[in-house]
Amino acid sequence: MPTHRTLRRDSEIHRVAATTWAQALALALKYEWNPNGPSTSYLADGFTPTEQQAAELSNAWDNAFEAALSAPMRFYPVAIDMGELSLLSDFVREGSFVIGTEQ
């Protein structure tokens, strides 16, 4: 089982724990992310979200950040570290990337 996910764009690589990636996707689903295919595609090696798909994912995380700020008592606790999510969101917001795994 992979322990990390790698998100690659040209020479940029963002490395994230596999559990954090899964938690981030689950949180996005809760905050209005509606992928045009199965969300489990984002767990597959080699899957490449388009620019639009990346924007939709980061927009859902923006919705989560807004909820955390505007209604923290309803938002927390969450399983994911919000600092890690912020870094992940910044990377994804920049556009298309390829998902891979790492041991």
Considering its fold, how many domains does the chain have in total? 1
Query: Does the pLDDT value for residue 1 go beyond 70?
Result: no
Average pLDDT of the chain to the nearest whole number: 94
Kindly state the average pLDDT of the residues 50-71: 96
Amino acid sitting at position 65 = F
Banded model confidence at residue 102, pLDDT cuts 50, 70, 90: confident
With beta carbons less than 8 A apart as the criterion, state whether 12 and 93 touch. Answer: no
∠ Cα 10 4 93 (to 5°):
45
Domain that holds residue 59: 4-102
Question: Do 7 and 90 touch, CB atoms closer than 8 A?
Answer: no
Closest C-alpha to 31, from 1, 74, 73:
74
Close Cβ partners of 2 (under 8 Å, ≥ 6 residues apart): 18, 101, 102, 103
Count of positions (residues) in the chain: 103
Structure tokens at 42: 């984002």
pLDDT for residue 2 is more than 80 = no
Q: How crowded is residue 92: how many other Cβ atoms within 10 Å of its Cβ?
A: 24
- pLDDT tens digit string along 3-35? 999 999 999 999 999 999 999 999 999 999 999
